[in-house]
């Protein structure tokens, strides 16, 4: 099953996403040039450390691009509603389209999204049923890459042996301290922000509640069965194979859970 491309025309979102790409590109270029390659050449670190950094960087940017262009679950016009499911659909008062319950209308994108969690300007896209798993991967690998970068910044000054300056080019030699301070500053800011976001996302999956539902408190009085966390995560990632939850290079296949199973808004 192919995944539809979803492109949002939003200059503010482009700026936010461009900033994220700049931070990723900065660390992907300068951290290996300033720390990894010089210390590898002098035998202070192994090739595994270099490969792991590029591995995390690749998965981070891949999940970013896929989350930003993936269809979050946009509802099509004149959907075919099964007879057994009609009581679990409702009319959107903004776009006058029928939608399954737990769907919400995004004012920025201008359409309804199935099980919409929120609109994220950092990926210039909504986070909904079909790309929530990619957004979670983005948060996870961003934390890993930021933590790895901060560890390398620390070890470069306080743990690794001093480098032989003749092996460095002039630009790195003259601006080493400034480059690493910028890297550490961006790493701390991103790690702090993304860790809090990732925690709230995980708690939402554990409780089977979206961010919009939490803010509106619309599900507090609705009785619902408690689902095990393995089931809620499998529904988000589209597979019961836990190893695949960490792989962005695949297609998500819905587990065919009815919209009205558990809670609805």
**Active site (catalytic) residues:** 120
Distance CA 113, CA 91 (A): 13
DSSP, collapsed to helix, strand or coil, labels residue 257 as coil
Helix (H, G, I), strand (E, B) or coil at 241: coil
74 contacts 99 by C-beta, under 8 angstroms: no
3-state SS, residue 8: coil
Q: Dmax over Cα atoms in the chain, in whole Å? A: 75
What is the rounded CA–CA span in Å between residue 69 and residue 123?
A: 8
Taking phi first (over 0 means left), then psi (-120 to 50 degrees means alpha), and beta for anything else, what does residue 155 get?
A: alpha
Contacts of 160 (CB under 8 A, 6+ apart): 39, 44, 45
Place of tokens 């860790």: 195
Kindly tell me the burial class for residue 211, based on how many C-beta atoms sit within 10 Å of its own C-beta (0-12, 13-18, 19 or more).
middle
- Taking phi over 0 as left and psi of -120 to 50 as alpha, with beta for the rest, 2 belongs to beta
What is the DSSP-derived secondary structure letter of residue 33?
A: I
Through-space distance between the first and last CA atoms of the chain, rounded to whole angstroms: 28
């Amino acid at each position: 099953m192919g995944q539809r491309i979803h492109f949002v025309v939003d200059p503010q979102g482009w700026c936010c996403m461009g900033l994220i790409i700049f931070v990723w590109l900065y660390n992907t270029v300068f951290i290996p040039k300033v720390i990894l390659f010089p210390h590898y050449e002098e035998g202070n670190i192994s090739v595994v450390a270099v490969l792991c950094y590029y591995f995390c960087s690749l998965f981070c940017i891949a999940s970013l691009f896929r989350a930003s262009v993936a269809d979050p679950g946009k509802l099509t016009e004149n959907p075919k509603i099964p007879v057994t499911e009609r009581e679990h659909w409702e009319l959107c008062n903004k776009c006058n389209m029928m939608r399954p319950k737990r769907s919400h209308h995004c004012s920025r994108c201008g359409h309804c999204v199935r099980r919409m969690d929120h609109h994220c300007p950092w990926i210039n896209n909504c986070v909904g049923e079909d790309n929530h798993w990619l957004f979670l991967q983005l948060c996870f690998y961003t934390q890993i890459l930021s933590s790895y970068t901060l560890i390398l910044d620390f070890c470069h000054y306080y743990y690794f042996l001093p480098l032989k300056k003749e092996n460095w080019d002039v630009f790195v030699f003259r601006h080493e301290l400034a480059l690493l301070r910028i890297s550490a500053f961006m790493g701390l800011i991103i790690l702090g922000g993304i860790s809090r976001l990732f925690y709230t996302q995980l708690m939402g999956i554990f409780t089977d509640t979206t961010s919009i539902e939490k803010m509106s408190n619309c599900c507090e009085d609705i009785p619902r069965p408690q689902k095990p966390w393995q089931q809620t995560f499998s529904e988000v990632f589209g597979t019961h194979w836990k190893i695949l939850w960490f792989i962005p290079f695949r297609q998500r296949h819905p587990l065919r859970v009815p919209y009205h199973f558990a809670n609805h808004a």
